[in-house]
Structure 1
Amino acid sequence: MSNTGAPVRFTESAKANLLPLVHDGKMPEPFIRVGMKGGTCGGTYVLGFDSKTEFDEEYLIDEIPLLIDRRQLLFVLGTEIDFEARANGFYLHKPSTL
């Protein structure tokens, strides 16, 4: 499956840690949500489980059901979601376009 045009990208490590939850039905909510918290200039990324609201855009990226609030879409566009075992969790990174 090609993800050309997908708003965010999952690394292989992130997929390896999320897909078992998706396939085993062990997600506490039906979607993974990515967004911003605390404002867009000085804000931080958020990643968690959630249900869909009226403001959400729904995506299926590499079999992972994802939600992004359409008001935050421009701020998370191009974000890479990774899992780092030694850091004990997920982190989000927006690669520089320079």
Structure 2
Amino acid sequence: MVVTPVTIRPEARAQILDTLQTQKIPADYGLRVGVRGGGCGASWLLGFDLPGPTDEVYVVDDVRVIIDRKHLLYVLDATIGFEQGDEGWGFVVDRQAAVSLS
């Protein structure tokens, strides 16, 4: 069994694969998952990028996922979804595991 640090919901997977294809993003790119900022002001970082020397690359449900090693602890057990509603549409991230740094 292969363990992956994040889960991608089917609706998010479909949107990611569609974006990769329609925007003609090269196959060596992947979905970068990370955090930006720190403390209470931290926010999720999602975008298409090339892996760098400090990154780990995973394949999650046919989606290439790139995570910087220093972000791995913070994104572990995150679930990436995609929602559409009256306010618009976009990716959402839910993280079940609580990480205490104290």
With the length of structure 2 as denominator, give the TM-score of the two structures. 0.80
Runs of 4+ in 1 over 4 A off after TM superposition: none
The CA deviation at 1:24 is: 5.7
1:82 aligns with 2:64: no
Structure 1 or 2, whichever has the larger Rg, is: 2
| Paired residue total | 94
With the length of structure 1 as denominator, give the TM-score of the two structures. 0.83
Structure 2 gap ranges (5+): none
Contact 1:22 1:64 in 2 (8 A): no
1:17 aligns with 2:15: yes
Identity of aligned residues (%): 34
Alignment of 1:1-98 (within 5 A): 5-22=3-20, 26-27=24-25, 30-39=29-38, 41-42=39-40, 43-86=42-85, 87-96=88-97
Partner-residue secondary structure (3-state), 1:71: helix
Structure 1 gap ranges (5+): none
